[in-house]
Amino acid sequence: MLIALTVLAPVVTLGWHAVHGSTDHWLHLMSFVLPVALRNTLLLLLGVGVVVTLLGVGSAWLIAAYQFPTRRVLSWALLLPLAVPTYIVAFAYLDVLHPIGPVQSFIRELLGYTSPRQFRLPDLRSLPGAIFLLGFVLYPYVYLSTRVMFASQAASLLEASRILGESARSTFFRVALPMARPAIAVGVSLALLETLNDIGASEFLGIQTLTVSVYTTWVTRNDLAGAAQIALAMLTLVAVLILIERYGRRRQRYSGNQRTRTLQPRVLRGPAALLAVFLGWLPIVVGFVAPALYLLNETIKHFHQVGAVSAQLLASGINTVKIALVAMVVTVACGLVAAWAARAIRSSNRGTPAKVFARISTIGYAVPGTVLAIGMLTPIMLLDGVAARVAGWFGNTDPGLLLLGSSGVLVCAYMIRFLAIPVGGIEAGLSRIPPSMEQAARLLGETPGGALRRIHLPLLRPAIAAAALLVFVDTMKELPATLLLRPVNFETLATWLYAEAARGTYEEGAVAALAIVIAGLIPVVLLARAQFKTER
């Protein structure tokens, strides 16, 4: 219950700020800020949703339904863009596609032009540019969930469609695609939540979204109530998107038989195989290979010029690892408590409250980092006030702001934001452990805590390790909450990269970006290995 209340407190506080804030500034917000920000946000979500659906579903069907050269490598390589945060891709492509950058200079040289005034590509700093980049980075969310659904579909259903006279194209759109809709909805929802949480890529590309408006309203205009009201509008938008999707499939039911014969890939040869290879590798090249090669090249160039990493960047890397490790331990521990309480109390016929608390503890993943940061201010200040009163009771001087502006607040924000990862992973691990093992331990005199320590924890080791790794990497990549809640003079790799990009010093920022990408590769590789094991 305490964990669930901790997660819920920022959301409740946000509503309180929005309701009790002054409405004098709303004329300005409604006239100059919200219309542009809301329009850009809706268009960005719509565009990214279309791109990730096309790329994710198309890639999943290509891998599941066809056999062609490099298919085995592609099946896991299509996950690689997950290792690159959106703001790093924007950071890389802004330099690569600059009017005097390598790509446009090479094209002008081929065409015989000598000046950007004679020929230049469309500006990447635009809404279409943001949709393009975010779509090619976030499509793996759709690919991962949809590919599993396609691979597990019964081949007999698709064959029955063909026997009844449907073409291969019609079978895909009328049978395979509708059956995969729940998986597609989950993947698109995750991609849109990541898009809504993004602040670095949108700001780099000059797009005024609701997230950027929250940040500028709070930090630049020093208007907390206005930022809270915009943030509440963002949460409303998230809720509306989820409700629309669920309402759209409220009467649809899905079922499957695990014993049926699954879909067998059709072998492609000749031009069809070459086309499949091109289509399969295109998202990987755009979403991972090109930005990773750019970062590697800039890092090597930086070392040739400077010879070493600056002390400030090294300190930022150390800060990142420290805060990520602490956040990982706290988040996984809280996730274990929430998941275990739901399991243990449910087995004693009092599980409804515990199950509700476990579900509440996972809502933080749907709250953008900027929204979460605003919602945490008042609870943290209240705790600081309590600490001051307690110190006064013992005759001590006022300790000041102990929590606000400390690394502890940052750890709490990471815990709230990413608690859904360990709760979901550990619940899935617990579901695979037969209740009979726990019952046998209790019959032999073991306490519930003892059964958790001696039976469940050893069996949950893979699930806990996977959740810990994902939390660690997501913490390293998190930018919005870190920007707003970090202590004074405290830099992480993400905030260092953000500052370097804002100053235009791309070489120094490339080192930090490459470190984040390398760290992000670890869970992607493990995820691919787990996928291969599942298939075998």
pLDDT tens digits along 263-311: 677 888 889 999 999 999 999 999 999 988 888 888 888 778 777 777 8
pLDDT of residue 136: 93
**What is the CA 458 to chain-centroid distance, rounded?**
29
Express each pLDDT in 163-196 by its tens digit. Answer: 887 777 787 888 877 878 877 887 888 888 888 8
Q: What Å distances lie between residue 212 and 190, 391, 406, CA to CA?
A: 20, 39, 24
pLDDT of residue 132: 92
Looking up residue 390, the CATH number of its domain turns out to be: 1.10.3720.10
Closest CA to 155 of 227, 260, 255: 260
Residue 430: what residue type?
L
Q: Is 82 part of a structural domain of the chain?
A: no
Query: Tokens standing for 370?
Result: 């900027």
CA distance 378 to 390: 18
Helix 290-306 to helix 506-535 angle (10° resolution) is 140
Q: Is 172 part of a structural domain of the chain?
A: no
H-assigned helices in 97-209: 102-111, 127-138, 140-152, 155-163, 168-171, 177-179, 181-197, 200-204
CA distance 468 to 481: 19
User: pLDDT category, 59, cuts 50, 70, 90?
Assistant: very high
pTM: 0.79
Q: Is 84 part of a structural domain of the chain?
A: no
* Residue count (the chain): 536
User: pLDDT category, 99, cuts 50, 70, 90?
Assistant: confident
Q: What Å distances lie between residue 155 and 162, 252, 255, 260, CA to CA?
A: 11, 21, 14, 8
Which of 23-32, 134-143, 177-186, 457-466 has the highest average model confidence (pLDDT)?
134-143
Q: Is 94 part of a structural domain of the chain?
A: no
Read off the DSSP letter of residue 455. I
- Looking at the structure of the chain, the number of domains it has is 1
Q: What Å distances lie between residue 268 and 66, 141, 362, CA to CA?
A: 7, 26, 43
Q: Is 65 part of a structural domain of the chain?
A: no
Lowest average pLDDT, out of 113-122, 150-159, 327-336, 360-369, goes to 150-159
Mean pLDDT of the chain: 80
CA distance 215 to 227: 7
User: pLDDT category, 53, cuts 50, 70, 90?
Assistant: very high
Q: Is 131 part of a structural domain of the chain?
A: no
Which of 89-98, 187-196, 280-289, 514-523 has the highest average model confidence (pLDDT)?
280-289
Q: What is the mean pLDDT of residues 73-102?
A: 84
Q: Is 423 part of a structural domain of the chain?
A: yes
Q: Is 161 part of a structural domain of the chain?
A: no
Q: What is the domain range of residue 481?
A: 309-503
